[in-house]
Structure 1
């Protein structure tokens, strides 16, 4: 059995014109607190692999625990945020996301279908390496929700409102390619400005 933890990034600076925003001061504090919590759960990171979306907010969330454990972070495009439809300019992405949250995964574009497939395939490949029992993946709200929806067989886009630095625990039975939800991460109270 391999443990996978999907960790949403900390609070990022919201901007209609910035495609890769940094964490806010609050987000940096959240990342520091997360590192302390992960140290309690996995002392010194023994047997733990770190993977992150290449987006700044995810990498910056992973960095405190990476520094604490002196472990490298594997950057993976497989866990990047959902692509917008081609005709949606960056300045309108926020409005598109808010509308998309109330829709169905069945309404995805072909590019988004490939994005989702890549996430699920990448998760199934996280078989236990020698000495590795847990993979922490620093990623995004929509990544977490698409995984939960796929495991549940539920077409609703929003499965739950994963809060900043929330930890959604999954298990992967070795050799089966079967993912299970162990527990969902902490939820936030509001849908406003999912980023």
Structure 2
């Protein structure tokens, strides 16, 4: 799918929620605001990660297709998140999560939980966490393990033991953390994380 087709599709999505965009669809490039252009670029980046190589068309998860009864609710929430994000890298992670949802690797509830985590965490923190998990390094080496615990990505396995009180805490990745890494950060190698 060409960039122009993705752009047209993105403008159509935004037009569903913004009557001004719906009115200027044909003259969008000349009459839209800078913030609208930025939102369209972000949405195009998200959608271009949904390419289906076989028929070169965007395949969104069924929850994000117009025929779905909750299309407006889900798409509006996704647009709010995308609009608030200031990093293309985080949009790529969300695009991977959306593709994983389309492939039924995660359910809608897990998708929104992971999207909220990506929205709140710094991208570098997400990358550091993904690197530790992919290299099977102890999560205790993470620079601030409490961030991982706060977002439910890791849990302490010996919290109420004498060893933990002496400072020798052991941490384990949670299901949420595993899904963030294998569906959001490293979806191309999804199967390599099944043993964790």
Relative to the length of structure 1, the TM-score reads: 0.31
Structure with higher helix content: 2
The structure that is strand-richer by fraction is: 1
* Bigger relative contact order, structure 1 or 2 (CA pairs below 8 A, ≥6 apart): 1
